[in-house]
Structure 1
Amino acid sequence: MLREDALAALPVRAVLPALNEALDGHGTAVLAAPPGTGKTTLVPLALAGLLGEGPARRVVVAEPRRIAARAAARRMAWLLGEKAGGSVGFTVRGERVVGRHTRVEVVTTGVLVQRLQRDQELAGVDVVVLDECHERHLDADTAAAFLWDVRQTLRPELRLVAASATTDTEGWARLLGGAPVVEAHGSSYDVEVVWAPPVRPVRPPHGMRVDPALLAHVVSVVRRALAERPGDVLCFLPGVGEIARVAGQLGGLDGVDVLQVHGRAPAAVQDAVLAPGGRRRVVLATSVAESSLTVPGVRVVVDSGLAREPRVDHARGLSALATVRASRAAARQRAGRAGREAPGVVYRCWTEAEDARLPRFPAPEIKVADLSAFALQAACWGDPGASGLALLDAPPGGAMAAARSLLTAVQAVDSAGRATPRGVRLAQLGLHPRLGRALLDGASLVGVERAAEVVALLSEAAPREYGDDLGAVLRSVRRGGDAYAGRWRAEVRRLRGVLADMSHAPGRDALLTEVHVKGDGGAGATVDGLAGLVAALAFPERVARADGGSYLMVSGTRAELPGGSRLRDADWLAVAVADRPLGKGHARVQLAAVVDEDVARGAAGALLDERDEVRWAGGDVVARRVERLGAVEVTARPLREADAGLVRDALLEGLRREGWRLLRWSAEAETLRRRLAFLRLHRGEPWPEVSDEALHARVDEWLEPELGRARRRADLGRIDAGEALGRLLPWASGEAGRLDELAPERIAVPSGSRIRIDYGDPERPVLAVKLQEMFGLQESPRVAGVPVLVHLLSPAGRPAAVTADLASFWRDGYKGVRAELRGRYPKHPWPEDPASAEPTRHTSARLRR
């Protein structure tokens, strides 16, 4: 029996004619309706003809979350005066409540994608409603793209409705071929905004970490709201951990029940939250309560301002949820929960100024998430690059390349990116491809039951109190009676069932691929052994070996165990979960299992490589035959007859690291290099560049054949650098013969001495000569047309003056020098007119003789 009063109160009823008209004329429509208008519950019933009007149709409604799918189906059944499983049913992962007379089926978007892969025509379905599409979950985007493809190619009569709680509908209308936009107006009540920021600054979120000071502040705001306002309080927090901590701090509230609602909460708890309560309630919720769900009795919302979004680090292979600031759209959705049934209030735990700086909308998952599962779905659909799919945002190239690499490694796609039979089965498991690989291959090694047990553990993070040892976690959860253990058992049953269904499907011989893992992996395997084996199959690049107090993963990432870990004595680990703490260069192991070398080799066998490794290490050439598992060195032995080319490369690496000083540099060789640098600067071509970089670039021209004959550091030390540099002189042009003319090692000074020129500064060569030897010279000497900088020395060889203009010095500077030095060196000549005096290398006494 229809509940007419409740149906009549839903504002979306007013736009049902316009929606039907849009679908009749165009086949697609975008419905924009605020929360509480009935878009999730009334519209599907109307489209199915269950309200006594319109033709009977079969309608599928896709929700982004399981809790929303179950709640929507039960609400629709209640409006019809029925129970779920009659005219309205639901299907979520691990639970199906439908009957033969079901006309409206509510599913999660993930279930819808799986169904489309099995039956692209969606036989028997007349209308698909994609609810809450504004949230931009990856499964929802994928389902929309597949549905549009089906409508364009196979079933043009299939009707599509994209339902959004926001008015940002242009993109969806464009995606659905210029679909009409039907907008419903809500009847929600006014919601007062109270800005309630922390008194003292709190640290911004990082990774999964939330400053405890912010959580303590949220607790204080909840208590304040209970004291100031009537009605139930709905408090938004980013995740399950934060909900548990806040619930713990809210203990002891008189006459108030504290409830927790999130995706992991048992169905009974979720149902209790969505039913009217007898006592006042504080409902602590994640973003699952932003839309689709009405929590009765709520008049107050406390918003922490945080949310969780997926992030992935492609370089390190570590992906996880990250805590971020909630968008303004999410904040509006959350606030609207307080005005569903009466005027309400929202306490926002940030400032009004901060609000203006928040992002407008949440980041689309396709832009930030791990795309391995999406890429596999696209490959199974027949579009490996997803280039032909109708998507609001194109997948990032780097993320798709990383996904393709993973799918190739687990043999889910071929070299062209097309899905293999194995890949099709992996896609049907409803798991990340990593976990699908672990389940399929693990089942062949340790049995279906044991593989399913470990994969179920890896599918959902265990509570922290379970510890970081995956084997110990498996033993604990087998005995456990908490909510996590219950969910784990349900997932094990589901995985067993999926494998059982596959075993009867055509192509069973492609179901399991052999993984060569030595040792006892079958029925006699220990709990630790089977946990490690299956984890290694899921995360082969995270197999890690102990190395100097930490662990080096096959991927090259270094990871550390927390203090007091039971895993510290393990030589090899299979790391299932790791993160990077703020300010740390290494990853931190959160969950791992002990494995042996045979398991490591088998699981990560695609990365096993043996090669001759010749490198410069410890100041000399080291030649070894090395077996590596990715970045991890497994075995190494000395190599006596190393390849000459590898040795040469190692010697060059040594020269790059330690410099050309490894060669034998005589004084003449050093001088030649400086002279060439001087000529290159002032004359250019054909004189060679002799910087370190230039010498490396032309090493084949000047250091062969000596380099080719060298085998170790000592051989480099026997190479005459000056002789080798001579090969770079411009012999072909004939200019080499002018080296001594243009950049002589020594030049003659007026006294007859031949004095060495210092080319240490190529800008200005230096001539250091005793002052008396330069008497009579009016102009400073030049080399290659460049005046040298003359350092005039005292009779003791100490600098007395520096000049580039001798004539000026004799005229202006000499008098001061003469006055200072003639008393100190009376035996040397100090004429009053040095410009006309005789130059000399001798004292005055010798001159008189």
Structure 2
Amino acid sequence: MLSDVALDLPVRPVLPGLVAALRAAGSAVLVAPPGTGKTTLAPLAVAGAVDGRVLVAQPRRVAARAAARRMASLLGERVGDRVGYAVRGERRSGPGTRVEVVTTGLLVRRLHHDPELAGVGAVLLDEVHERQLDADLALAFTVESRSALRPDLWLVAMSATPQADRFAALLGGATPAPILRASAALHPVTRVWTPPPRPVPPPGAGPVDRVLLDHVAATVRRALRERAGDLMVFLPGVGEIAAVAGRLADLRDNVDVLRLHGRQDGGEQDAALRPGPRRRVVLATAVAESSLTVPGVRTVVDAGLSRVARLDLARGLGALVTVPASRAAATQRAGRAGREAPGHVYRCWAEASHERLPAQPEPEIATADLTGFALELAAWGAPDGTGLALPDPPPPAAMAVARQTLRTLDALDPDGRITSRGRTIVATGAHPRLARALLDGAQRVGADRAAEVVALLAEESVARPGDDVAAVWRRLRAGTDPAATARWRTEVRRLRSALPTRGDGSAALPDDLAAGLLVGLAYPERLARVRRSGGTAYLMSGGTAAELAPGSALAGADWLAVAVADRSPGAPTARIRLAAALDEGTAREAGAPLSRTDREVAWSGTDVVAREVVRLGAIELVERPLSRPDPEQVAAALLTGLRSVGLDLLTWTPATRALRERLAFCRQVLGDAWPDVSDQALLAGAADWLGPELAAARRRADLARIDVAGALRRLVPWPLAGRLDELAPERITVPSGSRIRVDYTDPGAPVLAVRLQETFGWADAPQVAGGRVPVLLHLLSPAGRPVAVTADLASFWRTGYRQVRAELRGRYPRHPWPDDPTTAPPTRAGGRRR
């Protein structure tokens, strides 16, 4: 077929070698820079040398259609003759088609249906470096199919970036596949570095800074002045395309400002790819990075940003995050300017920062929701991917979450193998969650309505603008947006064909509730109840807080089934992007697997609460008090309260505190045979030392009635219990006959506070702990004020007493102040001075 094409592109000299390598080894890697013609000429060369149809797999629908049209035009034919294409919901090929361009997702579907790919002679996997999930699966499945079933199948991996060795090893196994390299593009591209005039905040989860968007628009105007031909402008998303288009609105008298992105229908995309009568500025997302030649483009303006999905595994929510484009992506984008003639690329960042960009884009497998990916692996018979030619293994945490989701959908059995229901889900060609809503919802709302709502959710672009699923559904039915309606109806027909029956519930629910039910069946963990009547704050059944956008028509709905929500890193709540209002009964029906009734006995922060709670996930629906809670659970809750609030929940009388201090003294002085009565130890062992009193308690007030002193005494081993009063006496009898309490607050120095006159006749201070520890005497004046502190009473009588006597005898003349206190009689009260 290549002989029918006169076009000479840089890849052409390499193609005979490619065919020879395939004849010898059956697989090969073709590395060709942007603009060299690999996407259009290589399939034609292979088709002319192999029996059977040639499948060319492209990651994007727009690229698949464009590649097929380009090859057909080179052959002077219509699409559908020798060259055709197939994308989801659309196919143009016939019995005479030799080259068929398909999306990687569609190739995966065909491999599931027919692993041998009967009638196919070769598979060319284009743009393998982009590392989308479907592309990784298509590569892995095709390699295994060739190895196990079709050794005659030719397999080529094509890439515009130099990762050849990696893919050669994957394709060839023990012997790497041959690598063929094309020369650089025919036309040079000159780089122009145009950083913003002032610093721009780094990209993230929020909108792109308007300063950068202003700068991109200004750079477009500059390029229009300085260069000839059409311009292609790379921006991260549809919102930024609209923003820059608005800034260029005044150019439309002389320039056509067009948009190119994945949310458009095929006709709109095709219009952006055709040359026009006037000069054009094509504002594009990453869909235009590769496999596309846009006629007339001589200049590229690159904002330097990409938008990627990030999955919050804990919440099951995704967020679209704006990141700096990789160097490989920048090279791809620049190549759009050199396809037909020398060109220029205006890069909206500084040359010095270019080398700090990541070399390659992050593979989708590292960040995306892997639910569908995991089901595809299970359907292929390799649930964990072991043994498959995957460029990277899937992250274990993300795979664990994906498998759990699939088990809740009954798509996998407990061992991770696919179930019959799982195969039915795979056959729908929709995300497993949407397939579940389609299959189960059809029985409740009817097959037609189920297909319509699920198609709306699958083709998310048709839902914009607006965040109300039911309102969008009505708008699509009315056909007010013909392009969106056409895309939607195509997907409806495809999904409807996957359902064998109409279902038996076509009139059971009104449309609004039917929409809510279907969304809830797909995303039961996103069923949400308003936090405050009439508000915009919601709690989702998965436990995540969420907010409606200001001005949402859904504000005030008591219940929502949330189809799309995202949570920016660091944000306290998720933002609801698309949802359907429903009532509690429908929410309970949709979220039935999440429904449970819990009998809870727990510490609430101030007391024990015993209740029965009906929940939908994290949402509490009904609460009732428990009249006869389990005593063991009550005791456990009281223990929790004791450990969270502290020992002050118990009643500590002075005598009880004194006992605890005596026990602490014994442990410190006499060793670990005595119990540890520190806060930490008492709280840790509360279930033991509080014993039957705790078991009998039912509420906080019961804790305050526990005999703590008796409980503490139970801690003392019985051989020691009888010696406590001997070793750490509660009171000591002084010479006056008074029994005075000993203060053990400081376990290292027990204190006896006693009036000086009551110690007359004492030669030495008393000792405790079997004579090991002297008591520290706080000697008091007749008024009870400390006048001396000593543990050596004999020394005090010799040296300190004289000074105390001299200072106080005049102040307290009615109290005795003898010359020799060691022989004087002690006294409790005042008397005649001698």
Aligned ranges 1:51-70 → 2 under 5 Å:
54-70=49-65
Aligned ranges 1:457-536 → 2 under 5 Å:
457-462=456-461, 466-479=465-478, 480-499=480-499, 522-523=506-507, 525-536=509-520
Shift of 1:415: 1.9
Distance 1:260 1:111 in 2: 26
Q: Secondary structure at the match of 2:84?
A: strand
Aligned ranges 1:158-237 → 2 under 5 Å:
158-176=153-171, 177=173, 178-207=176-205, 209-237=207-235
Shift of 1:387: 2.6
Distance 1:495 1:614 in 2: 48
The alpha-carbon distance between structure 1 residues 123 and 664, as it changes in their structure 2 partners (threshold 3 A), is same
Distance 2:366 2:303 in 1: 25
Q: Which amino acid aligns with 1:166?
A: T
Distance 2:31 2:819 in 1: 103
Q: Which amino acid aligns with 1:187?
A: A
User: Higher mean Cα deviation, 162-171 or 656-665?
Assistant: 656-665
Shift of 1:494: 2.2
Q: Secondary structure at the match of 2:340?
A: coil
Q: Which residue of 1 aligns with 2:572?
A: 585
Instruction: Tell me the alpha carbon deviations over residues 606-652 of structure 1, each in whole angstroms, 9 at most, x when there is no partner.
Output: 12112322223363332222222222222222222222222222222
| 8 A Cα contact 1:577 1:590, kept in partner | yes
Q: Which residue of 2 aligns with 1:507?
A: none
Distance 1:163 1:812 in 2: 103
Instruction: Give the aligned length.
Output: 824
Distance 1:298 1:820 in 2: 108
Distance 1:19 1:831 in 2: 122
| 8 A Cα contact 1:329 1:360, kept in partner | yes
- Determine if the alignment matches structure 1 residue 701 to structure 2 residue 688: yes
| 8 A Cα contact 1:128 1:159, kept in partner | yes
Distance 1:495 1:208 in 2: 34
Q: Which residue of 2 aligns with 1:848?
A: 833
Q: CA RMSD in A?
A: 3.5
Shift of 1:809: 9.6
Instruction: Tell me the alpha carbon deviations over residues 352-392 of structure 1, each in whole angstroms, 9 at most, x when there is no partner.
Output: 44333322221111111111001111111112222332222
Distance 1:533 1:45 in 2: 49
| 8 A Cα contact 1:127 1:159, kept in partner | yes
The alpha-carbon distance between structure 1 residues 537 and 226, as it changes in their structure 2 partners (threshold 3 A), is same
User: Higher mean Cα deviation, 532-541 or 55-64?
Assistant: 55-64
Distance 2:189 2:666 in 1: 81
Q: Which residue of 82, 88, 95 maps to 1:87?
A: 82
Q: Which residue of 116, 120, 123 maps to 1:121?
A: 116
Instruction: Tell me the alpha carbon deviations over residues 394-417 of structure 1, each in whole angstroms, 9 at most, x when there is no partner.
Output: 111211111111111111122222
User: Higher mean Cα deviation, 628-637 or 225-234?
Assistant: 225-234
Shift of 1:92: 0.5
The alpha-carbon distance between structure 1 residues 668 and 374, as it changes in their structure 2 partners (threshold 3 A), is same
Q: Secondary structure at the match of 1:106?
A: strand
Q: Secondary structure at the match of 2:249?
A: coil
User: Higher mean Cα deviation, 667-676 or 140-149?
Assistant: 667-676
User: Higher mean Cα deviation, 374-383 or 691-700?
Assistant: 691-700
Q: Which residue of 2 aligns with 1:517?
A: none
Q: Which residue of 1 aligns with 2:645?
A: 658
Shift of 1:466: 3.5
| 8 A Cα contact 1:750 1:777, kept in partner | no
| 8 A Cα contact 1:197 1:348, kept in partner | yes
The alpha-carbon distance between structure 1 residues 832 and 583, as it changes in their structure 2 partners (threshold 3 A), is farther
The alpha-carbon distance between structure 1 residues 127 and 804, as it changes in their structure 2 partners (threshold 3 A), is farther
Q: Which residue of 1 aligns with 2:414?
A: 415
Q: Secondary structure at the match of 1:652?
A: helix
Q: Secondary structure at the match of 1:309?
A: strand
Shift of 1:42: 1.0
Shift of 1:827: 7.4
The alpha-carbon distance between structure 1 residues 286 and 848, as it changes in their structure 2 partners (threshold 3 A), is same
Q: Which residue of 1 aligns with 2:530?
A: 546
| 8 A Cα contact 2:813 2:833, kept in partner | no
Instruction: Tell me the alpha carbon deviations over residues 421-447 of structure 1, each in whole angstroms, 9 at most, x when there is no partner.
Output: 211111122211111111111111111
Shift of 1:765: 5.8
User: Higher mean Cα deviation, 432-441 or 216-225?
Assistant: 216-225
Q: Which residue of 2 aligns with 1:673?
A: 660
Shift of 1:72: 1.0
Structure 1: gaps spanning 5 or more residues: 504-510, 515-520
Shift of 1:769: 6.0
The alpha-carbon distance between structure 1 residues 99 and 651, as it changes in their structure 2 partners (threshold 3 A), is same
Q: Which residue of 2 aligns with 1:597?
A: 584
Q: Secondary structure at the match of 1:126?
A: strand
The alpha-carbon distance between structure 1 residues 758 and 171, as it changes in their structure 2 partners (threshold 3 A), is farther
Distance 2:724 2:124 in 1: 86
The alpha-carbon distance between structure 1 residues 355 and 761, as it changes in their structure 2 partners (threshold 3 A), is farther
| 8 A Cα contact 1:47 1:57, kept in partner | no
Distance 2:203 2:587 in 1: 35
Distance 1:359 1:442 in 2: 44
Distance 1:73 1:748 in 2: 109
The alpha-carbon distance between structure 1 residues 764 and 261, as it changes in their structure 2 partners (threshold 3 A), is farther
Q: Which residue of 1 aligns with 2:631?
A: 644
Taking structure 1 as the reference length, the TM-score comes to 0.88
Structure 2: gaps spanning 5 or more residues: none
Q: Secondary structure at the match of 1:22?
A: helix
| 8 A Cα contact 1:69 1:92, kept in partner | yes
Taking structure 2 as the reference length, the TM-score comes to 0.90
The alpha-carbon distance between structure 1 residues 742 and 284, as it changes in their structure 2 partners (threshold 3 A), is farther
Distance 1:56 1:277 in 2: 39
Q: Secondary structure at the match of 2:94?
A: coil
| 8 A Cα contact 2:729 2:768, kept in partner | no
Distance 1:366 1:800 in 2: 80
Q: Secondary structure at the match of 1:40?
A: helix
User: Higher mean Cα deviation, 380-389 or 685-694?
Assistant: 685-694
The alpha-carbon distance between structure 1 residues 233 and 759, as it changes in their structure 2 partners (threshold 3 A), is farther
- Determine if the alignment matches structure 1 residue 562 to structure 2 residue 557: no
Q: Secondary structure at the match of 1:614?
A: strand
Q: Which residue of 244, 247, 250 maps to 2:245?
A: 247
Distance 2:258 2:685 in 1: 74
Q: Which amino acid aligns with 2:571?
A: K
Q: Secondary structure at the match of 1:723?
A: helix
Shift of 1:24: 2.7
Q: Which residue of 2 aligns with 1:136?
A: 131
Q: Secondary structure at the match of 1:41?
A: helix
Distance 2:366 2:506 in 1: 41
| 8 A Cα contact 2:779 2:788, kept in partner | yes
Aligned ranges 1:605-624 → 2 under 5 Å:
605-617=592-604, 619-624=606-611
| 8 A Cα contact 2:82 2:98, kept in partner | yes
User: Higher mean Cα deviation, 104-113 or 698-707?
Assistant: 698-707
User: Higher mean Cα deviation, 645-654 or 118-127?
Assistant: 645-654
The alpha-carbon distance between structure 1 residues 666 and 45, as it changes in their structure 2 partners (threshold 3 A), is same
Q: Which residue of 2 aligns with 1:573?
A: 560
Aligned ranges 1:382-393 → 2 under 5 Å:
382-393=381-392
Distance 1:807 1:190 in 2: 106
Shift of 1:258: 0.9
User: Higher mean Cα deviation, 538-547 or 91-100?
Assistant: 538-547
Shift of 1:284: 0.9
Distance 1:635 1:696 in 2: 34
Distance 2:643 2:764 in 1: 47
Q: Which residue of 2 aligns with 1:96?
A: 91
The alpha-carbon distance between structure 1 residues 465 and 59, as it changes in their structure 2 partners (threshold 3 A), is closer
Q: Secondary structure at the match of 2:596?
A: strand
Q: Which amino acid aligns with 1:45?
A: L
